[in-house]
Amino acid sequence: MNTEEILGLPLALPDGVDYDEYLIATYLASFPAEVPIPLLSMALAVEQSTGTWVAVPGETPEVRRRHVAKVLGVYELPDYEFSVPPSVETRNWVIQVAYPEINIGAQIPMLLTSVVGNISMGGNIKLLDIRFPEKYVAGFKGPKFGIGGVRELLGIPERPLLNNMIKPCTGYPLEVGADLFRQAAMGGCDIIKDDELIADAPFNSVEGRVKRYMEIEKQVYEETGEHTLYTVNITDKVPKVFDNARRAVELGCNALMINYLAVGLPVMQALGEDPNINVPILAHMDVAGAMYMSPLHGMSSHIVLGKLPRLAGADVVVIPAPYGKAPVIPDKFKNVAKNLTFPLYQLKPTFPMPSGGITPSMVPKAVGDLGTDIVIGSGGGIHAHPQGPIAGGKAFRQAIDATVQGIPLEEYAKEHPELEVVLKQWADPFGKGIAF
């Protein structure tokens, strides 16, 4: 076989491709022992690039040389060498496939079509990771503000930020939400967001909330000297989601929130790249579990919650925290945060926002796991404080201050009653061994 023929194969050495021209996808495949995965992996590469299950006239040697995906490696776990024991019923494989960047372009829909696409219906196959070439990422603007920009807006250079989700989630009239917003802001919440379950509702509109809440934001700033970002939930059908965003900004809203997987990553990307949407975007994680929770299907959580929303321009991403009510492995949680914050070519880092049943007793753990460049998200942990939401916000701020100063929460709480109350009431609300 000559070199030209080899270049047209859906197969290559890891050292034989130009990593500046290919996206490298890594998969986990788990199949019955008799299924010949090394052979079928090449069919996978063809299926997701130039061809189909049978040869077609248009798939010429020239087309294959330039556009066929290439299997770089098929690795079995455990790595059998001499023979496969007869007792083995299921064999597990790690497969790496290189996809030509030219097939995809700087967009997310064709990325997902290529690397997940039809093979998502092919059995136990899960996308573990994607390595992007610089030319691919160069086509994205990423977060407009990022961690540094959000900190600059709030005038908070170092400490963890505090977010509150207004609770109840939905069903309340404007003035109830306005009162809760005021109390959370007075308690020291740096960001206050709508719950993902309320957007432009007939009983409580986006326009009404923005007008009223931003009036309150100004009043609270005059009293406390601290600004609050209000992330109004603009989630809606297209094109109304864009109308919601532009109207909110026109009315003075200083941040936006979107259920990014429900509306689609390209919608959030379009909002982030719109020069008239000059405020941070908070991305909510709902629907994500349908994409990553299966151990054998879909995509790993750090892709769904990390790389993709960062590419698409999220300045803050809500992520499940392992010590709250969310079922998540701690190492997975940390990996999501790494994909939001570690260097990724020219993209700014995105704030991870640990969320889901967070109480003040969990603040030291969150900071110990992820550092201070986080937004700590709490809903019921603020609104259900025995002394009310103002005290709830203060308790979190006290927990943050103590943690940053390296003071144990129990010691700090002796002179801070708001914190002391909740340390006793919510020391370990989900039975996960939280210590303070």
The set of residues, in sequence order, having a beta carbon less than 8 Å from that of 422 and lying 6+ positions away, is 359, 360, 361, 381, 385, 386, 392, 395
Distance CA 350, CA 341 (A): 6
Distance CA 396, CA 325 (A): 18
Distance CA 399, CA 422 (A): 11
Distance CA 152, CA 43 (A): 50
Catalytic entry in 126, 284, 302, 385: 284
**Sign (positive or negative) of CA dihedral 316, 322, 328, 333:** positive
- Segment 388-392 long-range contacts (CB within 8 Å, at least 24 positions apart): 388/183, 389/164, 389/180, 389/183, 389/184, 389/187, 390/183, 390/184, 390/186, 390/187, 391/187, 391/418, 391/421, 392/184, 392/187, 392/418, 392/422
The set of residues, in sequence order, having a beta carbon less than 8 Å from that of 88 and lying 6+ positions away, is 33
167 noted as active-site residue: yes
C-beta separation of 63 from 115 below 8 A: no
Catalytic entry in 144, 167, 302, 365: 167
For the record, the structure tokens of 243 come out as: 């109308």
- Backbone phi, psi, residue 56, to 5°: -125, 150
- Chain position carrying tokens 């003075």: 252
- Residues serving a catalytic function are 167, 284
